Amino acid sequence: MPPITLHLHKSFFRSQPMEIIRAAGCSAELFIYDTGIEAVRLINQRGHLIVLPYYGQIIWQAFFDGVDLTMESHFRAPRPASDIVGTYGCFMFHSGLLRNGNPGAEDTHALHGEMPVAPMDSARIETGIDDQGPWLALVSEREYLMGFGDHYRAQPRVTLRPDSALFEIGMEVENLSQNPMELMYMCHANFAYVEGGALLQPTSFSAVDTVIRTSVPGLVKADDAYLQRLESLKRDPRHTAVVSAALQPDPELVFSLKNLRPVADGRVHMLLQRPAGDAFMVQYHPQEFSHLIRWILANPMQKVCAFAMPATCGVEGYHREKNAGNVRTLAGGERAQFTVKLGYLTAEESPAEAARIRAAYAASPLHETKDV
C-alpha cells in the first residue's frame, strides 16, 4: 500500500498551532515563529520534534520522555540568516552538500556549506505502514541550480513512529546534471551537553582511534593554554570517555573517530549515557558514511555534545578535504542516499544498546575491550 501524502503550502501556517493530520499513532501541527520561520511539530506518544520544512529542514528541537535532547544556546527561536551561525541553536542541520566543514584560507564557501539554511521549494507529510509498523514523515525538497555550475535535487526526510523516542533522518541527493558533481555531507546532530555523561563507542579511546583536531578554525579564539590542551589530548585522549568540565571544552573539542566496528545489524552504534542511566543514541551505516566526527563545547553562550556526527568527509573545509581524498563525486544522474537513526533511550532501554556496542568492540581483533 503506497503512503498517503499531504502537500503543505506556506499559507497553511499561522501563529497559533493547528493540527493538520493525525495518523499512524502520530500527529502533526503547523505553526509559525514570531521570527517568520514556518515549523511543523511532529508528535508521538513519547514526545515531539520541531522541524523547519522550508529552512534547510532543520530539526529545531527533539524532546522525548520529558528530556530535551537539544543543545543549549541563547537562540530561543530560529532566525532568518544567510548561514548557520546566524541561527545556531538547533538539534540538527544538514551540513553540505557541495561544500562542508570550516572554510580554510583557500576556501570561499560558507561554514558547513549551502544546505544548512537553504530555502526549500516544497514540503509534504507522508504516512504509511512498513515491516516495522506505522510511521509519519515530513519530506522537503530543493532544486539547486547555478548557471555554469551544479544542478542537484536534495530531499531531506525525518520519520517518526508512534511509540518510540528514536527517529530517522534521511537525505537523498540526485545529480540532475550530466556532469560530475562533488558531494560533502554531514548529519550535524547537536545533542545536549551532559556533565558526567559516559561515551560508549565501538573503538578505543587511544590516540590512534580517537583523534583530536589540532588545527584551529578562524572563528575559534585560541590562546596558548588551549593549544597546549589540544596537544595533550592528541597524545592521550583516554580520559575523554567521560564528558566533564575537567576536559575544558571551551572554545571547543573536535575529534575524528577511526576503526569503528559495526554491530550485528551492520550499523555503527554510538551512545552518550547520562548519569541516571538513560542515554542519547546514534546509529548509521558505514557504507554511507566514511567519517564520524565528535564536537564538544560548553561555555556561557552555548553547550553541546555532538558526540556522533556521521559524514562523508572531515571538517577541514573544501580544499584540505579535497587534497586528502575525502570529497566524493556523483556522476551525472547519480543519486546518493543517507539515513541516520538517533534519539533517546530510557534507563531500562539503554543497557541492551550499551551491551551491543561493547560486544562489537570486543569482537574486533584490533583492540582490547578495556578501552570502551
| Residue 106: Cβ within 10 Å count | 11
Instruction: Please write down the HEC assignment for all residues of the chain.
Output: CCCEEEECCHHHCCCCCEEEEEECCEEEEEEECCCCCEEEEEECCCEEEEEECCECCEEEEEEECCEECECECCCCCCCCCCCHHHHCCCCEEEEEECCCCCCCCCCCCCCCCCCCCCECCEEEEEEEEECCEEEEEEEEEEEEECCCCCEEEEEEEEEECCCCCEEEEEEEEEECCCCCEEEEEEEEECECCCCCCEEECCCCCCCCCEEECCCCCCCCCCCHHHHHHHHHHHHCCHHHHECCHHHCCCCCEEEEECCCCCCCCCCEEEEEECCCCCEEEEEECCCCCCEEEEEEEECCCCEEEEEEEEECCCCCCHHHHHHCCCCEEECCCCEEEEEEEEEEECCCCHHHHHHHHHHHHHCCCCCCHHHC
Kindly state the average pLDDT of the residues 65-81: 97
pLDDT score for 15: 94
* Contact by Cβ (8 Å): 83, 108: no
pLDDT category of residue 218 using cuts at 50, 70 and 90: confident
- Residue 365: the pLDDT is 63
Distance (Å, whole) CA 372 – CA 369: 6
pLDDT digits (tens, 9 = 90+) for 6-48: 999 999 999 999 999 999 899 999 999 999 999 999 999 999 9
Which pLDDT does position 304 carry in this prediction? 98
C-alpha Rg value of the chain to the nearest Å: 20
- Write out the three cell numbers for 372: 570502551
Q: 368: pLDDT confidence band, cut at 50, 70 and 90?
A: very low
Q: Calculate mean pLDDT across residues 326-346.
A: 98
| Residue 203 or 222, more confident | 203
Average pLDDT over residues 112-121: 96
pLDDT, averaged across the chain: 95
Averaged over 163-188, what is the pLDDT?
98
Q: Under a CB-based contact definition with an 8 Å cutoff, are residues 222 and 252 in contact?
A: no
pTM: 0.95
| Percent of the chain's residues with pLDDT above 90 | 90
The mean-pLDDT minimum among 39-48, 56-65, 70-79, 102-111 falls in 102-111
Q: Which of 39-53, 78-92, 204-218, 293-307 has the lowest mean pLDDT?
A: 204-218
Dihedrals φ, ψ of 310, to 5°?
-65, 140
pLDDT at residue 1, rounded to an integer: 67
The partner residues of 127 in beta bridges, in order of sequence, read: 4, 136
